[in-house]
Amino acid sequence: MPLVFGAIAPHGSIAIAEWCTPEQRPLAAKTREGFAQLARRFDAAKPDVTVLFTPHHVHLEKHMAVVVSGGMKGELEGGASRIGLYAAVDRKLARSVLDALSDADVPVIGVSYGGNDPMTAVMPMDWATQIPIHFMGGERVPIVMVAPARDLPWDLHVAAGRAIARVAESSERRIALIASCDHGHGHDAKGPYGFTPKSKEFDDRVVELVKRGALGELLSFEPSFPTDAKADSFWQMLMLHGAIGDTWRAEFLSYEAPTYFGMLCAAFTPAN
Protein backbone atom coordinates (compact mmCIF):
# COMPACT_ATOMS: atom_id res chain seq x y z
CA MET A 1 0.00 0.00 0.00
CA PRO A 2 1.49 3.39 -0.89
CA LEU A 3 2.40 5.87 1.82
CA VAL A 4 -0.61 7.77 3.13
CA PHE A 5 0.82 10.83 4.92
CA GLY A 6 4.00 12.85 5.36
CA ALA A 7 5.06 15.62 7.69
CA ILE A 8 7.90 17.93 8.58
CA ALA A 9 7.53 18.47 12.31
CA PRO A 10 9.67 20.29 14.88
CA HIS A 11 11.03 18.81 18.09
CA GLY A 12 11.50 21.73 20.47
CA SER A 13 10.13 20.89 23.92
CA ILE A 14 8.39 24.28 24.08
CA ALA A 15 5.87 22.91 21.56
CA ILE A 16 4.28 20.88 24.39
CA ALA A 17 2.23 23.23 26.55
CA GLU A 18 2.31 20.99 29.64
CA TRP A 19 6.11 20.98 29.58
CA CYS A 20 6.35 24.78 29.54
CA THR A 21 6.40 27.18 32.43
CA PRO A 22 3.74 29.91 32.21
CA GLU A 23 6.43 32.27 30.90
CA GLN A 24 7.43 29.83 28.15
CA ARG A 25 3.97 28.98 26.85
CA PRO A 26 3.53 32.00 24.57
CA LEU A 27 6.82 31.27 22.80
CA ALA A 28 5.60 28.49 20.52
CA ALA A 29 1.94 29.42 19.97
CA LYS A 30 2.21 29.17 16.16
CA THR A 31 3.96 25.82 16.38
CA ARG A 32 1.40 24.46 18.81
CA GLU A 33 -1.38 25.34 16.37
CA GLY A 34 0.67 23.84 13.53
CA PHE A 35 1.00 20.63 15.50
CA ALA A 36 -2.75 20.62 16.18
CA GLN A 37 -3.36 20.78 12.43
CA LEU A 38 -0.79 18.05 11.79
CA ALA A 39 -2.52 15.86 14.37
CA ARG A 40 -5.87 16.29 12.60
CA ARG A 41 -4.38 15.45 9.21
CA PHE A 42 -2.48 12.49 10.65
CA ASP A 43 -5.66 11.08 12.20
CA ALA A 44 -7.59 11.62 8.97
CA ALA A 45 -5.00 9.56 7.07
CA LYS A 46 -5.58 6.64 9.51
CA PRO A 47 -2.02 5.27 9.48
CA ASP A 48 -1.32 1.85 10.97
CA VAL A 49 2.33 2.68 11.63
CA THR A 50 4.62 5.72 11.56
CA VAL A 51 8.16 5.79 10.17
CA LEU A 52 10.06 8.67 11.75
CA PHE A 53 13.43 10.17 10.78
CA THR A 54 15.30 11.68 13.74
CA PRO A 55 18.63 13.52 14.01
CA HIS A 56 19.01 13.02 17.76
CA HIS A 57 19.15 9.29 18.40
CA VAL A 58 22.20 7.08 17.83
CA HIS A 59 24.98 8.46 15.65
CA LEU A 60 26.84 5.72 13.81
CA GLU A 61 29.82 6.69 11.70
CA LYS A 62 28.93 6.41 8.01
CA HIS A 63 25.85 4.30 8.76
CA MET A 64 22.17 4.95 9.20
CA ALA A 65 20.34 3.14 11.99
CA VAL A 66 16.97 1.42 12.37
CA VAL A 67 15.63 0.55 15.83
CA VAL A 68 14.67 -3.14 16.08
CA SER A 69 13.74 -3.20 19.79
CA GLY A 70 10.22 -4.12 20.77
CA GLY A 71 9.49 -0.60 21.96
CA MET A 72 10.84 2.87 22.71
CA LYS A 73 10.35 4.90 25.86
CA GLY A 74 11.15 8.54 26.47
CA GLU A 75 10.76 11.23 29.09
CA LEU A 76 11.12 14.97 28.65
CA GLU A 77 12.62 16.61 31.71
CA GLY A 78 13.73 20.12 32.58
CA GLY A 79 10.32 21.73 32.17
CA ALA A 80 7.35 22.49 34.37
CA SER A 81 6.36 18.81 34.29
CA ARG A 82 7.77 15.53 33.06
CA ILE A 83 6.24 14.23 29.84
CA GLY A 84 6.57 10.49 29.24
CA LEU A 85 5.78 8.36 26.20
CA TYR A 86 6.04 4.67 25.29
CA ALA A 87 5.57 3.53 21.69
CA ALA A 88 5.65 -0.01 20.39
CA VAL A 89 8.02 -0.64 17.50
CA ASP A 90 6.63 -2.45 14.47
CA ARG A 91 9.56 -4.87 14.33
CA LYS A 92 8.38 -6.60 11.15
CA LEU A 93 8.29 -3.32 9.26
CA ALA A 94 11.56 -2.22 10.89
CA ARG A 95 13.27 -5.36 9.59
CA SER A 96 11.80 -4.73 6.13
CA VAL A 97 13.12 -1.16 6.18
CA LEU A 98 16.51 -2.39 7.34
CA ASP A 99 16.68 -4.93 4.52
CA ALA A 100 15.47 -2.43 1.92
CA LEU A 101 18.09 0.14 2.87
CA SER A 102 20.81 -2.49 2.69
CA ASP A 103 19.55 -3.68 -0.71
CA ALA A 104 19.70 -0.05 -1.90
CA ASP A 105 23.40 0.06 -0.91
CA VAL A 106 22.70 2.41 1.99
CA PRO A 107 25.03 1.55 4.89
CA VAL A 108 22.71 0.74 7.79
CA ILE A 109 22.72 -1.08 11.12
CA GLY A 110 19.83 -2.40 13.20
CA VAL A 111 20.11 -1.24 16.81
CA SER A 112 18.58 -2.37 20.08
CA TYR A 113 19.24 -1.67 23.76
CA GLY A 114 19.28 -3.35 27.15
CA GLY A 115 17.63 -6.76 27.06
CA ASN A 116 19.31 -9.38 24.90
CA ASP A 117 15.99 -10.33 23.31
CA PRO A 118 15.12 -7.47 20.92
CA MET A 119 11.44 -8.41 21.03
CA THR A 120 11.23 -7.41 24.70
CA ALA A 121 13.98 -4.77 24.72
CA VAL A 122 13.04 -1.12 25.18
CA MET A 123 15.17 1.47 23.40
CA PRO A 124 15.48 4.94 24.97
CA MET A 125 13.49 7.46 22.94
CA ASP A 126 15.14 10.74 21.98
CA TRP A 127 13.24 14.00 22.18
CA ALA A 128 13.17 14.39 18.40
CA THR A 129 11.17 11.17 18.23
CA GLN A 130 9.03 11.79 21.28
CA ILE A 131 7.80 15.30 20.54
CA PRO A 132 6.31 14.68 17.07
CA ILE A 133 4.87 11.34 18.22
CA HIS A 134 3.33 13.11 21.24
CA PHE A 135 1.08 14.93 18.79
CA MET A 136 0.79 12.33 16.03
CA GLY A 137 -0.13 8.85 17.13
CA GLY A 138 1.00 8.93 20.75
CA GLU A 139 0.95 5.45 22.24
CA ARG A 140 -1.77 4.34 19.79
CA VAL A 141 0.28 3.95 16.61
CA PRO A 142 3.41 1.73 16.40
CA ILE A 143 6.55 3.32 15.04
CA VAL A 144 9.74 2.61 13.12
CA MET A 145 12.63 4.94 13.94
CA VAL A 146 15.34 5.65 11.37
CA ALA A 147 18.41 7.78 12.06
CA PRO A 148 20.19 9.46 9.12
CA ALA A 149 23.98 9.87 8.91
CA ARG A 150 25.38 13.28 8.09
CA ASP A 151 28.68 11.79 6.98
CA LEU A 152 26.95 9.88 4.17
CA PRO A 153 26.34 11.54 0.77
CA TRP A 154 23.11 13.40 0.20
CA ASP A 155 22.03 11.06 -2.58
CA LEU A 156 22.11 8.09 -0.18
CA HIS A 157 19.54 9.86 2.01
CA VAL A 158 17.31 10.30 -1.03
CA ALA A 159 17.88 6.64 -1.91
CA ALA A 160 16.93 5.65 1.64
CA GLY A 161 13.63 7.47 1.30
CA ARG A 162 12.91 5.76 -2.00
CA ALA A 163 13.66 2.37 -0.47
CA ILE A 164 11.23 3.06 2.37
CA ALA A 165 8.55 4.04 -0.15
CA ARG A 166 9.06 0.69 -1.90
CA VAL A 167 8.61 -1.09 1.42
CA ALA A 168 5.35 0.78 1.92
CA GLU A 169 4.10 -0.16 -1.55
CA SER A 170 4.60 -3.85 -0.80
CA SER A 171 3.07 -3.62 2.67
CA GLU A 172 -0.56 -4.01 3.65
CA ARG A 173 -0.10 -1.36 6.33
CA ARG A 174 -1.04 2.31 5.98
CA ILE A 175 2.26 4.09 6.64
CA ALA A 176 2.89 7.71 7.65
CA LEU A 177 6.28 9.42 7.43
CA ILE A 178 7.53 12.11 9.81
CA ALA A 179 10.74 14.04 9.22
CA SER A 180 11.58 15.40 12.67
CA CYS A 181 13.26 18.72 11.97
CA ASP A 182 14.40 21.79 13.82
CA HIS A 183 16.08 24.08 11.35
CA GLY A 184 18.74 26.74 11.78
CA HIS A 185 20.07 26.91 15.36
CA GLY A 186 21.90 30.23 15.11
CA HIS A 187 19.03 32.72 15.37
CA ASP A 188 20.02 34.15 18.76
CA ALA A 189 23.48 35.25 19.86
CA LYS A 190 22.59 34.20 23.41
CA GLY A 191 21.73 30.66 22.30
CA PRO A 192 24.11 27.73 22.76
CA TYR A 193 25.33 27.89 19.14
CA GLY A 194 25.75 31.64 18.84
CA PHE A 195 24.41 33.76 15.99
CA THR A 196 24.78 33.26 12.26
CA PRO A 197 22.73 34.94 9.51
CA LYS A 198 22.92 31.62 7.66
CA SER A 199 20.23 30.21 9.96
CA LYS A 200 17.58 32.67 8.82
CA GLU A 201 18.72 32.35 5.21
CA PHE A 202 18.42 28.56 5.42
CA ASP A 203 15.03 28.65 7.13
CA ASP A 204 13.63 31.17 4.66
CA ARG A 205 14.68 28.97 1.74
CA VAL A 206 13.19 25.84 3.33
CA VAL A 207 9.89 27.62 3.96
CA GLU A 208 9.83 28.78 0.35
CA LEU A 209 10.53 25.26 -0.96
CA VAL A 210 7.82 23.77 1.24
CA LYS A 211 5.29 26.33 0.05
CA ARG A 212 6.10 25.41 -3.56
CA GLY A 213 6.21 21.67 -2.89
CA ALA A 214 9.77 21.58 -4.20
CA LEU A 215 11.85 19.65 -1.65
CA GLY A 216 13.90 18.25 -4.52
CA GLU A 217 15.63 21.64 -4.76
CA LEU A 218 17.33 20.91 -1.43
CA LEU A 219 19.85 19.03 -3.54
CA SER A 220 20.90 22.32 -5.15
CA PHE A 221 22.05 23.83 -1.84
CA GLU A 222 25.73 24.60 -1.43
CA PRO A 223 27.44 21.65 0.31
CA SER A 224 28.33 23.63 3.43
CA PHE A 225 24.99 25.47 3.74
CA PRO A 226 23.15 23.10 6.15
CA THR A 227 26.15 22.90 8.47
CA ASP A 228 26.87 26.64 8.30
CA ALA A 229 23.21 27.29 9.17
CA LYS A 230 23.48 24.90 12.13
CA ALA A 231 20.43 22.99 10.87
CA ASP A 232 19.08 19.76 12.35
CA SER A 233 16.72 19.14 9.46
CA PHE A 234 18.39 18.83 6.09
CA TRP A 235 19.12 15.10 6.03
CA GLN A 236 15.66 14.07 7.24
CA MET A 237 14.07 16.28 4.59
CA LEU A 238 16.17 14.59 1.91
CA MET A 239 14.82 11.24 3.10
CA LEU A 240 11.26 12.57 3.02
CA HIS A 241 11.82 13.89 -0.50
CA GLY A 242 13.16 10.52 -1.60
CA ALA A 243 10.05 8.83 -0.27
CA ILE A 244 7.37 11.15 -1.65
CA GLY A 245 9.02 12.74 -4.70
CA ASP A 246 7.65 16.01 -6.09
CA THR A 247 4.08 14.98 -6.87
CA TRP A 248 2.60 15.10 -3.37
CA ARG A 249 0.56 18.08 -2.22
CA ALA A 250 2.54 20.17 0.28
CA GLU A 251 0.72 22.27 2.88
CA PHE A 252 2.69 24.83 4.84
CA LEU A 253 1.16 25.20 8.31
CA SER A 254 3.49 27.28 10.47
CA TYR A 255 6.99 28.61 10.99
CA GLU A 256 8.58 30.55 13.81
CA ALA A 257 11.93 30.98 15.53
CA PRO A 258 10.92 32.21 18.99
CA THR A 259 14.25 31.26 20.55
CA TYR A 260 17.53 30.26 18.90
CA PHE A 261 16.17 27.62 16.46
CA GLY A 262 13.55 27.52 13.73
CA MET A 263 10.42 25.34 13.92
CA LEU A 264 8.29 24.44 10.89
CA CYS A 265 5.12 22.38 10.52
CA ALA A 266 4.12 21.08 7.10
CA ALA A 267 1.84 18.28 5.90
CA PHE A 268 2.21 16.25 2.72
CA THR A 269 -0.54 14.21 1.10
CA PRO A 270 -0.54 12.00 -2.01
CA ALA A 271 -1.61 13.75 -5.21
CA ASN A 272 -4.32 11.17 -5.85
Q: Which pLDDT belongs to residue 155? A: 98
**Antiparallel, parallel or unpaired: β 231-232 and 182-184:** antiparallel
Domain that holds residue 245: 5-269
Q: Which pLDDT belongs to residue 88? A: 98
- Whole-Å CA distances, 205 to 13, 191, 192, 212, 241: 24, 22, 23, 11, 16
* Residues belonging to the chain: 272
> Total domain count for the chain?
1
Q: Where are the alpha helices (DSSP H) in 26-136?
A: 29-45, 91-103, 127-135
Q: Going by C-beta distance under 8 Å and a sequence separation of 6 or more, which residues neighbour residue 52? A: 129, 132, 133, 143, 144, 145, 146, 177, 178, 179, 180
Q: CA quadruple 128, 40, 265, 170: dihedral positive or negative?
A: positive
Q: Which pLDDT belongs to residue 207? A: 98
Q: Is 147 exposed, middle or buried (0-12, 13-18, 19+ CB in 10 A)?
A: buried
The verdict on pTM exceeding 0.85 is yes
Q: What is the CATH number of the domain that holds 143?
A: 3.40.830.10
Rounded Cα distance between 199 and 226, Å, is 9
Q: What are phi and psi of 205, to 5 degrees?
A: -70, -40
H or E segment at 199?
helix 197-212
Stretches where the chain sits below pLDDT 70 are: none
